[in-house]
Structure formats: C-alpha cells, structure tokens
Structure 1
Amino acid sequence: MNKNELIKKAYELAKEQYAALGVDTDAAMKKMGELAISLHCWQTDDVSGTENPDGQLSGGIQATGNYPGKARNIAEITADLEKVMSLLPGKQRVNVHALYGDFSDGMVDRDAISVKQFQGWIDWCKKMGIGMDFNGSFFSHPKADSGFTLSSKDEEVRKFWVEHLKRSREIANEIGKQLGTPCVLNTWIPDGSKDTPVDRNGMRAQLTKSLDEGFATEYPKENMKDAVESKVFGIGAESMTVGSHDYYLGYAIKNNKLICLDNGHFHPTEVVGDKISSCLQFVDEVLLHVTRPIRWDSDHVVTLNEEVQLIASEIVRNDFMKRVNVGLDFFDASINRIGAYVVGTRAAQKAFLIAMLEPTKTLVELEEAGQNFERLAMLEELKTMPFAAVWDYYCLQEGVPTGADYIAEIQQYEKDVLSNR
C-alpha cells in the first residue's frame, strides 16, 4: 500500500471517529475554502524592501539572523512566494508594504508614490489569481528618524506622512479595483517615546488630526478597506506608543475602520483570541496579523500553539469568517525563509481546520446546561482526535505535499535557487 492509499485509509477511519461526535469532516474541509491567508512579502527579505535594500531597518523593528539566500528584488520575491504557494493547501493572498515598489524608472519618495510603482505586483496577482493587500511604510526613512510620523509636532514631517497615507490609500483602491477583490490597507506607525513623555495627549491629538486628513477621501469598500494597527511598545518606544490599542479601537469604532489585532502587539498575558468577539460587537470587520511573540514582539514563525488555536476557534465558533481578514506577520532571518513561510502558514491553517472539526453545538449545549465537567472533558478528548489524518487528506486533495514532504522540496529549492543568490 503506497503513501496516498495509507492517507486515504487513515482518513476514512478518522471520518468515522469524528462522525461519532456529530462532525462532518468533508464539510469541514470544504469550509476551509472560505479562508484566504494573506502572506506578508517582507519575510522574503527581512523587511529590507526594494526602495533601498541596503538601508537600515528602523522604527522599532528588528530582523535577526543572516541566513543565506534572501530575495534581492521583486522578481526574486515573487519567485519565492510562488514556491511557497505551491506547497500550501487552500487559498492565499499577498500583503505588500509601500517600500516594495518598482523603482527601476527612478526613485520616488513616499509622499509621491502611485500605482505605477505597484502595477507589476497587481499584474503578478492577476497571473496568480490572488488578491492583494497593502500597507503604508512609516519606518526606515529619514523623516521617521525622530521617532514620530503622523503624530509629529513638526508640521513638515507630519504633512509628509499624511501625504504618504493618502497615496497608500489611492494605491489600495486601485489594487482592489483591478483585482476585483477588496484590498485591505493597513496603517501602522512606530511613533512613541523611549522615556516617559509629558504631552501624551498632544501626540495623540496630532495623530487624530493626521488620520482624519489621511482618511478624508472615501473609497468604495468593494475596492479597499482601511485598518488601523496598535502596538504596545517598540525598540526606542519602550515607555509609550502613541497608537495604543485603546486609541485605535476608539478611532476604529468612531470612524468605521477595521481594527488590526496583531497578537505580538500586546502584553504577554493579553490574548487576541479573547479580543475578537469583543471588537466585533462594535466594528464591522477586523484584520489579524498572526505571529508568535517570544518575550517581546519578536515576530517568530507561527506554530500551532494554544493562542493561535483560540484565535481560529473564536472565528469559526462564531461564524466570523466573512468578518475577519487573516494575515501573517513574522520575519525570521535565522532560518530558510521559504521554510518559515510554509511552516507558519500551515500552522495557521491547521488551527482553522481543527476549529472546523469541533462539535461546537454540543459544547455550547453542555455549557448552557451548566455541565462544565463534561465540557472540559470533551475539549480534552478533542485534543487527541485523529486530526492529522484529516489534514493529510486535505493536503492530498489540494495537490500539495502531505506530512513533512515539503521539507525536501524546500531543501531542493535552496540548492537550486537560494544558494545561487
């Protein structure tokens, strides 16, 4: 019996076991079609970008490690992404930062960028049949060296970044228009103070003024959606960040924007999975940046841990799939970057499939009946259900490597492509 036959046989046995709990495994795999994970282009090159690849990364961001073979231009970035996508089941999108434009016709500063610098990305997405998301880049730039961008009290600096926000939104609108799927435009700034500030209110008033100006133009939601992202601290902004979670949640609710929840942007005891249903009481949609923080917002490769599982479970249990936009955000320069993508994305996908294999109706009935021992027992038993058999069969159906077979493919890609860079 070959490996594929063994996978099919194991799946049939797992299907029966899940059916005994009232779970339809075929329906769960079909539901995975509703999930499209946005792959962050910056894992290919450690957030170097194409604007100034040899520039110094700044803004509270740090990619550690020097693994060989990082992408050096858009052609290599897209080639790497194509390889990644060939090893993943399900649907993906691509998430691009503004510092990843095509500047082959000459350098264009961030307050002057247009769709011209990103038309190549749009054309590539058309070829791949995928959607595209976008981000303004408010870091790694001389006008961000002070530590303040949209919240700056220097009017020249503030206006520069407001214009960058406006240009980013124009580009996002055109991306969504051309691709026929909404582009999520995420706005994150590194603004904050290394030491204890006095005029916190003044900084936040400046940020509000800037956001109001930058968001003044309304674009069709079928083309683009605005999201705002908080952070608890950054390198050089340890004492206070202007765009805190409280600030942005209030701004998003008041102005009908998406709130971006990055699970690396909170204190260690805060769990993003618990925030999803709270935020969706008051905003239409949320954006997720799924990562793995270790001690600080170090953006490690996503693994299948309890926090990621809770995020997926909360979305599936509450039928939030159409209200949550799922993206990844990590940058590990210490290991094979293609491998990082595949391990991290598959981990997130596994969390969602596990959530879709949960007998939620039964668990809620136990909860509402006050049968908390039974609820706990059921949740514990689910942890050792034969999920791997369903996952392998799902990958087999999707025509991608099953189990650990992708490792050899990535090793071959490193030998044939990455080692020659």
Structure 2
Amino acid sequence: MAHSMNVQSSYQLARERYAAVGVDVDHAIERLKKIAISLHCWQGDDVGGFEGGDGELGSGLAVTGNYPGRARSPEELRSDLEMAYSLIPGDHRLNLHACYGEFDGPVDRNEIGVEHFQGWIDWGKSQAVSLDFNPTFFSHPKADDGFTLSAADAGIRQFWIEHGIASRKIAAAMGKAQGNACVNNFWIPDGFKDTPASRKNPRTRLADSLDKIFSDSMNPAETLESVECKLFGIGSESYVVGSHEFYMGYAISRQKLLCLDAGHFHPTEGIADKISSVLMYVPELLLHVSRGVRWDSDHVVTYSDELQAIMQEIVRGDFLGRVHIGLDFFDASINRVAAWVIGTRNAVKAMLAALLEPTERLQQFELEGNYTARLAMMEELKSMPFGAVWDQYCEMTDTPVGMDWLAKVEQYELDVLSKR
C-alpha cells in the first residue's frame, strides 16, 4: 500500500510539472494505451522454429549465448510469451515467422497452410493478442548459397515465390480471424560475400519474383504487406540485393509498406530521420526496433538516444496511425523472457516520453524562428519527472513497477525454465 501511495503522490506532482509546460499527462497515457508493440517470437528460442531441422540458422544470422531454458515447442514458447506479456504494460501483438508453424511431419516451405498456424490463431484469440507474420527465407537447403527470390536458378526462385504466396494466404487468414490487419513482412538474405560482376541482374530477378508473389490483390483490412531492406550481413558484406534504395523504390512504385530495421543501416545512421521522408511516398511504415552494435547484431533494445528519437519522430510527425512498431533482437546470453520484457518496456517507455512532449509548443517556437526557446525547452524536458508517470502507467495496467518484474522472471526461471 505504501508503495502504491508513493507512486500516486509522485504522479500528482509530475502531472503538475507537465501541466506547467502545456502537457496533459492523462491524455498522453490514454494515447499510449492504444499503441501496440509487436513482440518477435524468435527471441524465445534463438530463431530455431519448429520444423524439426538441425537448428542451424545460416544465411548470415547468428545468435550468441546458450542460456538455459530455450523454448522447444509451441506450447513452451506460448508459455514464455504469456509470462512476458504479463510484465509489460499495455496490450501488444506477436510477430510470427513461418518456420514457427505446428507441423505433424515434414512440410516444405512452399506447402505451408493456414492449418499449420491455427494453434497460434486460437491462442491469439484466447490471449487477446493479434498476430503479425513473416515468410522465412533462411535456414533452408534452398537458401544455402545465399540466394532465394533473386537466385539465378529459376527453380529456386519458383520455390520461394510459392512460399511467399502461401505466407500471404496465412497472414490474410490471421487478419480475418483477429479482426485487424496482420502485417506480413518480406525480408530475404540474398547477397554476395565479394564484389559482384552484376549488381543489376539479381535485382531485376528480385523485382520480378516479388511481382509474382504480389500479383493477386489482398484485402488491406486483413493483411498489410511490407518489404525490408538491409545494408549488409555476414556472407553478404559486399552486396545485398534488397538494399534500402531497391526496396524504397519498390515500396513506392507498388505502394507497399517499407520496413526500416534500426540495425540494417550503417552503424552511425539512424532510422528516425528517414520516417518523415519515406512516409511522403509510401502508405505506411513498419519499424523493426533493434540495437545494432557495430553491425546488425540485434541486441536487446535499451533506452537509448536512438530509441527516443524514433518514438519522438513518430509522435512529432503525427504518424501514429501510419507506423507499425515491431521488435527484432535475439539474445541467448541472458534470460530470454527477461530480454523480451526489458526491450519491450523500453520501447513503450520511449513512446510515453515522446507523448509527454509539448509538441505543438515546440513546433510553434520553430515556426516563429525562436530556436533559443525550442532548444531550451527540449533540454528542460530531459529532467522532467517522467519516471513518475511511467510508474503510474505500470501500476494502472497491473504490471510491476520498477524492477519488481525481475523477481517474477527469476521465479519463472526456477519453476519452469530450469526444468527444460
């Protein structure tokens, strides 16, 4: 009770402080309640999936660490997710990869169907968790040479085209069942380790393959489709077919969503500045919020300047209705449930901080050319009692305040994870 009273009293003081600079804290919290982050299923099992393979990732993907308790089945993964969701304030989504279907026996990627994901659809309904989707163009013999949709071999391309088409049908069924659009994101690992003799030919083949996949129109109320770019990867250091320029052009010309992954650009390049530019020409954006360290190493999201800049740009540009936020990291060096909780709480926390800015006032200073006041207020906001508002939001959503969540994860590790 004392803990709750302290949170309440601190919150009342914070409300007054924010009101003094023109911010309605209660309104900010109401807006935050409507914002869903899409948690990525692959953090829970090190991007292994449930196809019954050898667990080798390939395609330039790597997970570091061997922390005990990796999910080995859909049931275990769903249990871990339920634990994570219970510790994160707000109502959020789940981002599934195609390799996480429930398969009774061998089912190749071009033969997957809605039936293999019915268990996830039913679970989503029972938990009030909406689903997003991704075709899986890696960890497969037909991706071993580093090429899928842009492969020179027409048979390889056709196989992956069929996988893309099958994935579209699954995503649409998910969206129809849950009553809101399932975002279906296309990323491929295609590229060369060393300097290519033709940069044009693979990109020509990729565009043709994508056009074949997207040839039939889909109901946007059921599924929204995005394409994801990348600068380089392990095994594709010299050339990635699906570069930023390629996919930006494709998304604009075909009016698809563009996915910007925070780890898919140069280490000194942030995605926040790209948001307003790209949204002038594409209908909506998908963001993969991650933390690259020197390369696309997909570290757990921390409360960094880059994360804050991303959320600020979404709010300042009034883009909340056009931007879908997903997470993309995988760390097996720490408790995997804790990784979800830390990363997602940070993403939600950064969004709350962005909503607590006096946006109109800042932009009015800018319009008037009063850059002194703009800078002064931006700096003053950094020491505002934001933490008190965050604690109140956690309490009012029945999620742990501060680090209280960690004890629950540690108990879950003792009771469940340690016995796997």
TM-score (norm 1): 0.99
The separation in 2 between residues aligned to 1:198 and 1:310, in whole angstroms, is 39
What's the counterpart of residue 201 of structure 1? Answer: 200
What's the counterpart of residue 288 of structure 1? Answer: 287
The separation in 2 between residues aligned to 1:289 and 1:214, in whole angstroms, is 22
What's the counterpart of residue 60 of structure 1? Answer: 60
Question: Does structure 1 residue 126 correspond to structure 2 residue 103?
Answer: no
CA deviation string 1:71-103 (max 9, x = no partner): 001000000000000001111000000000101
The separation in 2 between residues aligned to 1:288 and 1:380, in whole angstroms, is 27
What's the counterpart of residue 410 of structure 2? Answer: 411
What's the counterpart of residue 277 of structure 2? Answer: 278
What's the counterpart of residue 269 of structure 1? Answer: 268
1:227-242 equivalence runs, <5 A: 227-242=226-241
The separation in 2 between residues aligned to 1:321 and 1:77, in whole angstroms, is 30
CA deviation string 1:40-81 (max 9, x = no partner): 000000001111353211111110000010100100000000
Do 1:271 and 1:307's aligned partners in 2 also have CA atoms closer than 8 Å? yes
CA RMSD of aligned residues (A): 0.8
CA deviation string 1:174-195 (max 9, x = no partner): 1111111100000000000000
The separation in 1 between residues aligned to 2:139 and 2:312, in whole angstroms, is 36
What's the counterpart of residue 351 of structure 1? Answer: 350
What's the counterpart of residue 84 of structure 1? Answer: 84
> How far does residue 310 in structure 1 lie from its aligned partner after superposition?
0.8
CA deviation string 1:242-261 (max 9, x = no partner): 00000000000000100000
What's the counterpart of residue 3 of structure 1? Answer: 3
**Letter of the aligned partner of 2:279 in structure 1?**
L
Do 1:34 and 1:321's aligned partners in 2 also have CA atoms closer than 8 Å? no
> How far does residue 327 in structure 1 lie from its aligned partner after superposition?
0.3
The separation in 2 between residues aligned to 1:29 and 1:5, in whole angstroms, is 19
What's the counterpart of residue 147 of structure 1? Answer: 146
CA deviation string 1:118-155 (max 9, x = no partner): 01000000101121000000000000001100000101
Question: Does structure 1 residue 170 correspond to structure 2 residue 158?
Answer: no
What's the counterpart of residue 396 of structure 1? Answer: 395
> How far does residue 373 in structure 1 lie from its aligned partner after superposition?
2.0
The separation in 1 between residues aligned to 2:209 and 2:147, in whole angstroms, is 12
**Letter of the aligned partner of 1:205 in structure 2?**
T
Runs of 4+ in 1 over 3 A off after TM superposition: none
The separation in 1 between residues aligned to 2:319 and 2:269, in whole angstroms, is 21
The separation in 2 between residues aligned to 1:383 and 1:211, in whole angstroms, is 45
Deviates more, 1:358-367 or 1:201-210: 358-367
Aligned length: 420
The separation in 2 between residues aligned to 1:261 and 1:34, in whole angstroms, is 22
> How far does residue 106 in structure 1 lie from its aligned partner after superposition?
1.3
**Letter of the aligned partner of 1:44 in structure 2?**
G
SS in 1 for 2:5: helix
Gaps of 5+ in 2: none
The separation in 2 between residues aligned to 1:146 and 1:405, in whole angstroms, is 47
The separation in 1 between residues aligned to 2:106 and 2:119, in whole angstroms, is 16
> How far does residue 24 in structure 1 lie from its aligned partner after superposition?
0.5
**Letter of the aligned partner of 2:168 in structure 1?**
R
What's the counterpart of residue 223 of structure 2? Answer: 224
> How far does residue 315 in structure 1 lie from its aligned partner after superposition?
0.7
The separation in 2 between residues aligned to 1:185 and 1:393, in whole angstroms, is 34
Gaps of 5+ in 1: none
**Letter of the aligned partner of 1:4 in structure 2?**
S
SS in 1 for 2:264: coil
What's the counterpart of residue 374 of structure 2? Answer: 375
> How far does residue 269 in structure 1 lie from its aligned partner after superposition?
2.1
User: Identity rate of aligned residues, in percent?
Assistant: 56
The separation in 2 between residues aligned to 1:52 and 1:23, in whole angstroms, is 53
The separation in 2 between residues aligned to 1:145 and 1:210, in whole angstroms, is 18
1:22-37 equivalence runs, <5 A: 22-37=22-37
The separation in 2 between residues aligned to 1:24 and 1:409, in whole angstroms, is 33
Do 1:291 and 1:330's aligned partners in 2 also have CA atoms closer than 8 Å? yes
The separation in 1 between residues aligned to 2:143 and 2:124, in whole angstroms, is 30
**Letter of the aligned partner of 1:418 in structure 2?**
L
The separation in 2 between residues aligned to 1:283 and 1:306, in whole angstroms, is 26
